[in-house]
Amino acid sequence: MKEVSHMIRDIEAEVELTRRLIGKNALDPRVMKAMRRVPRDEFVPSEAKAYAFYNGPVSIGYGQTISQPYIVALMTDLLNPEPDDIILEIGTGSCYQAAVLSLLVKTVYTVEIIQELAQQADERIRRLGYANIEIRTGDGYFGWPEHAPYDGIIVTAAAPYIPEPLTQQLKTGGRLVIPVGSPFQYQELMVVEKKESGELETRTVLGVAFVPLTGDLGASQRPNPTNEPT
């Protein structure tokens, strides 16, 4: 399909432009294969089909977007998924990111706070035959503890700080990929690795722009403001 080929070339071009920031000249071939296989046009509203393979975000309603293909591919690559992995996603949206991951791992659990989007996503993946994705409606700040610990966690909305419940649900040796920053201001895509000691090693990859993570953000557990990113 011509549109898919154009999308893949756009992703490769973005990787070339950002190679010094992301520390690689190419993304994992398995990730790029998954990007080719998932029909992105099935995950956008009918009125946005013309923009489905454009290398940019697309509105899916309710103030939410489907992330640009490059960012989806990059975040998937940074998660370093393996075939037997159990992955948690926060922010189901259209379920496109989860669909890409589902081709690379054993199971994807995904949490969406907007009930209408969760219902639409569930109907979509059933229709398209993605059998290893499970969706629940809830506040993603608290993760999905029933299935923890996770080999990897991916967050598709910007949090003002790294939610502690998510790091607690991350398996030792696992990775959390998350945009961190204030809504509509500068945000950083970060990778958090949990070491054998239980300590968290964090690195910043590049600047990004995501819709904000909603919910109460664990207001009673919010860290001291001096520890929050600026």
Query: How far lies 168's CA from each of 85, 102, 129, 149, 199, in Å?
Result: 17, 23, 32, 8, 11
User: How many angstroms separate the CA atoms of 180 and 10, rounded?
Assistant: 25
Residue indicated by tokens 């649900």: 169
DSSP three-state, residue 45? coil
d(CA 159, CA 142): 12
Q: How far apart are CA 35 and CA 31, in angstroms?
A: 6
Q: Choose, from 5, 46, 59, 67, the residue flagged as catalytic.
A: 67
Q: Are 10 and 60 in contact (CB under 8 A)?
A: no
In three-state secondary structure terms, 208 is: strand
Distances in Å between the alpha carbon of 57 and those of 16, 60, 210? Answer: 20, 9, 9
Q: Is 67 a catalytic residue?
A: yes
3-state percent helix, strand, coil for the chain, nearest multiple of 5: 40, 25, 35
d(CA 23, CA 99): 26
Catalytic positions, please? 67
